[in-house]
Amino acid sequence: EPCGTPISIGFSYFFSYSLAIRAALLIQRWYRQYVARLEMRRRCTWNIFQSIEYAGEQDQIKLYSFFGFLMDHFTPARNLISHIFRENEICRDTEWERYFCYKDIEVPDSYTGPHLTFPMTFCGVSKLVEAFKQKQQLHARYVLQILGETWRLLRILPNINHVSVCQTKEITICGDLHGQLEDLLLIFYKNGLPSSEKPYIFNGDFVDRGKSSLEILLILFGFLLVYPNDLHLNRGNHEDHIVNLRYGFTKEILGKYRVHGKKILKLLQKIFSWLPLATVINDKVLVVHGGISNSTDLNVVSRVDRHRVRRPSDPLSVCFVSIKLKRSQGRRRVRSLTNHSSALPQRNSLPRRSLQNSSISHQLSSSVEDELKRRRRLAGFDQTYKNANGSDSDSDPDFAEAPEANGHDWKQVRYVNLLWSDPMPQNGCISNEVRGGGCYWGPDVTEEVLGRHNLQLLIRSHECKQDGYEFCHNRRVLTIFSASNYYEVGSNRGAYIRMGADLVPHFIQYQASRTCRDLTLRQSVGWTERSALRALREQLFVHKSDLIRAYREFDPHHTGKISMRHWASATETVLKLGLPWRVLRSQLVSRTHYGMVDYQQWIKELSITEPKLEVSDTSILETMYKNHSNLETIFRIIDTDHSGLISLEEFRQTWKLLSSHLKMEISDKAITDLAHSIDFNKDGSIDINEFMEAFRLVDLSAHG
């Protein structure tokens, strides 16, 4: 055929079209693989963050389990830590009113922040929101005034709020905020401020981790005072003064209010104990912070004296079911710290003793060491050792064998699962070993509990989700999380729910960080991944001695090299994070030789730097890094006057408590060397914040 005929033109067109289709399919396949790889990296990054977060919660539960053990069995140490367990010294409401009176606190003329009038009005709270936007700080007088009014209001609210929505009025439900004021302000910007026409439910965990927890509380409490029927607050597991010691809220308050911080913390402790536990919408939707268990009964929850359960994070009450089942009939029972029996006033009457008293310090020092030896000999928490020792000098008749908690007390602690539990895909209800407290419950439990209470949906928070929300259990359970960029910029979106009379949830997602909104997907994943790997390298570094010992188990000929499979297995054995180590190998191990890892060289290449201090026992430094958060928590517990300073003797007792908790020996000389190396001005006291900052690890790879 001659050139240019219809047949040749048609063939050429078909050939070009075929090439275009093939090219499009190749590009599509490449793009899908590219997105899949990014998604795999994102999920792996997510697992790193979440595993490290939950490992920290496990550490906290173990630490307070140890404190509870000391409280019940070890009299001298009780003088150090009893104040975190006992009831508030001021019991009568009239005494509380006098203790927290704000009237003698003057507002100076130099104060430039907002001036509030009471009773609170919408205009007054709006001014407060604007002031916090401008980074202004509210005067302590007004803070105490808001908190006092909030306490009076919360005392008359029920454990479970019941609210109604109709065709003309939707309700907005928000999850964890964790001190991230930008997220709350963005929600108000997009959705409107709370009002009688714009009701809200905030589902707990307002505080900790972020830097603006108090500002969030003051805004929410302000709107609660103005619209008590239209703004509803549920308690979260972080509305707990014990948790606040570890996760930053206590430090935030004391940093912002040096003079009146102690009073503010005391009143917040009281307020947290009075926060409602759940909200029910139109008798069909249950909103609760953590979740449920197979024993959840809302009728029981509604009758609990919620303000008496002081410590929902207390492992002795969180895990009361497993404790009760594990103990044999003949063994002594540990008193639940939520059991306010007749013996409690004697515990509360224990005087606070200064560690400056040398005789008490000597008694405490020797007793701690004796207890350490006893615990090492028994290899763990043996509840029966006092029986073997008969009239041990550490025993106390006021703390003799506790009676079986009665049914009412067990019902009181049962609500802890509402704050700590997580859903799981499998049927059943098991102890939440990942967090160390609460339970995991399955779809069958959801169906049974919702069916028994004639409910159709459970809305909960407590878990960070990448998209800000997630359904599970056949869409009968919905998780909502409102703190965007929770782990790192770009790690997750925040979300809130709008719900109308049809009770169908509608989601609004957002990113509070402008930086994140400007990033591409690849940039966002890369940013978050680098942050997660930094955190993971720090975990590897602080466990380096344990890791080397574990690697040597697979290196009988001392070659310094092990296979990749053994490297992954040993690393998981030590860190127990449940991570896919072989997948992470390319990001953590820069070089291998025929599939073998030079583990000693790899440890050196972790690019972590540490402070150079003259300490006789370097193992104490590794213990410091490994237990950084636990040590800070103990410091803040021992610092009973919240001054931010502890004496050298208190510093020594802190380390003795930690070494006893860890079942390891740390010499007095090593502790003394460490104390003197950090006492920069040689005044005999240590600034807690300076000490913790001095021992913060730095990842050099982030600055290269």
Catalytic residue numbers read 238
**Whole-angstrom distance, CA of residue 658 vs CA of residue 479:** 36
CB count, 10 Å around CB of 190?
10
**Count of CB atoms situated within 10 Å of the CB of 482:** 29
Q: Which tokens hold the place of 319? A: 């895990």
How many CB atoms sit inside 10 A of residue 130's CB?
11
- How far is the first Cα of the chain from the last one, in angstroms, to the nearest whole number? 67
**C-alpha 106: how far from its chain's center?**
36
Work out whether strand 200-202 and strand 171-174 pair parallel, antiparallel, or are unpaired: parallel
User: Nearest 10 degrees: CA dihedral of 59, 63, 68, 71?
Assistant: 180
Residue 565 host element (H or E): helix 564-575
Cα distance between residue 153 and residue 164, in whole Å:
20
Tokens 């009893």 -> residue: 82
Question: Could you tell me the CA-to-CA distances from 293 to 169, 180, 478 in Å, in that order?
Answer: 32, 30, 16
- Strand 422-423 vs strand 171-174: parallel, antiparallel, or unpaired? unpaired
CA dihedral 101, 106, 111, 114 (to 10 degrees): 40
DSSP label at 627? T
Neighbours of 27 (CB within 10 A): 10
Structure tokens at 699: 């990842």
Classify residue 398 by its DSSP letter.
G
Q: How far apart are CA 495 and CA 509, in angstroms?
A: 4
Q: Is 313 helix (H, G, I), strand (E, B) or coil?
A: coil
Is the CB of residue 631 less than 8 Å from the CB of residue 624?
yes
- The alpha carbon of 271 is separated from its chain's Cα centroid by a whole number of angstroms, namely 19
Instruction: Please give the Cα distance from 169 to 198 (Å, whole number).
Output: 7
Q: Does the CA dihedral 376-379-380-381 come out positive or negative?
A: negative
The angle that helices 521-542 and 6-73 make with each other, rounded to 10 degrees, is 30
Contact 168, 143 (CB under 8 A): no
Which residue from 175, 185, 307, 184 is spatially nearest to 233, judged by alpha carbons?
175
Helical ranges in 229-260 per DSSP H: 241-247, 249-256
Q: Rounded CA gap, 474 and 477, in Å?
A: 8
User: Which two tokens mark 260?
Assistant: 């009146």
Peptide bond connecting 6 to the previous residue in cis, omega within 30 degrees of 0:
no
- 140 CB-near residues (< 8 Å, 6+ apart): 102, 105, 257, 259, 260, 264
Tokens of 676: 């003197």
Q: Which amino acid is at 132?
A: F
> Mapping DSSP to helix (H, G, I), strand (E, B) and coil, where does residue 268 land?
helix
Is residue 81 within 8 Å of residue 71, measured between CB atoms?
Answer: yes
CB 215 within 8 A of CB 133: no
Q: How far apart are CA 421 and CA 424, in angstroms?
A: 10
